[in-house]
Amino acid sequence: MEKRTELYRGKAKTVFTTDDPERLILHFRNDTSAFDGEKVEQLERKGMINNKFNNFIMAKLEAAGVATQIDRVLSDTDTLVKRLDMIPVECVVRNFAAGSLVRRLGVEEGKELTPPTFELFLKNDALHDPMINESHAVAFGWASAEQLGTMKQLTFKVNDVLKQLFADAGMLLVDFKLEFGVDADGNIVLGDEFSPDGCRLWDKETRKKLDKDRFRQGLGGVVEAYEEVAQRLGVQL
């Protein structure tokens, strides 16, 4: 399967068309960005790590009954995926308070949230991905009420699976975002990626940050942290 034309270029991935109209190629780049692209760096090996990490996680979710767009790995940085009509709404689950939740509500970082919170954000870089609610999504035609219900159910299922997976490897799944799309049969399918770029992971004992916050906060050792997470889970790099 060969790349044809560039369909979309995101902050850290490029999507290419292929000779099969129902398949796309996700190319994971070494680009690392924060603050809506204001801070950008090239981190060697990051694209490879995220590609392999994403495939590992998606395989675990598939085994648990969550449909994903993954088809197969093509190379260290490329993955063949099913074409989806992506829904421009991000689903975010928070198990512990961190990031924007702390800034918005003035709560203490690290507070365990029982039950976990669920939030929706509009995927729009120009507007800085604003927080929205279900009424907004339906009224503006971004998603139907039925689609949102399925997305919420699947997001909590992913949380149940991955919280345990990371806990068994000595880590806390603090929060994460998911994106969904609609396949040719009208089914809601998990798309995009799951990597340390789009979630927060802390060491269970020390609360050392093992995700992109190391880049956002200038802590250093970003790639090393991603590699540590992968190794703890048993991802073959």
Residues 121 and 187 in one domain: yes
Range of the domain at 65: 6-82
Residues 93 and 66 in one domain: no
Round to whole Å and give the CA distance between 58 and 214. Answer: 24
Q: Which pairing describes strands 13-17 and 23-28: parallel, antiparallel, or unpaired?
A: antiparallel
Q: In the predicted model, what is the mean pLDDT of residues 53-60? A: 98
Residues 58 and 147 in one domain: no
Which of 67, 82, 97 is the last residue in one of the domains?
82
- Strand ranges (E), 29-170: 31-34, 39-42, 70-73, 78-82, 85-96, 112-122, 131-132
- Determine contact, residues 111/32, Cβ cutoff 8 Å: no
Classify burial at 77, counting beta carbons within 10 Å of its beta carbon; exposed 0-12, middle 13-18, buried 19 or more. Answer: buried
Give 173's contacts (C-beta < 8 A, 6+ positions apart). 95, 159, 162, 163, 166, 167, 199, 200, 201
HSE value, Cβ hemisphere, 13 Å, CA-based, for 82 = 18
CA-closest candidate to residue 147, choices 187, 195, 105: 187
* 1 domain-assigned: no
Whichever domain contains 95, its CATH number is 3.30.470.20
Whichever domain contains 24, its CATH number is 3.30.200.20
pLDDT per position as a tens digit, 166-204: 999 999 999 999 999 999 999 999 999 999 999 999 999
Residue 97, classed as helix, strand or coil, is coil
pLDDT per position as a tens digit, 127-169: 999 999 999 999 999 999 999 999 999 999 999 999 999 999 9
pLDDT per position as a tens digit, 57-110: 999 999 999 999 999 999 999 999 999 999 999 999 999 999 999 999 999 999
Residue 152, classed as helix, strand or coil, is helix
Q: What is the pTM of this model?
A: 0.95
Q: List helix spans (H) across 93-179.
A: 100-105, 134-139, 145-168
Round to whole Å and give the CA distance between 2 and 215. Answer: 33
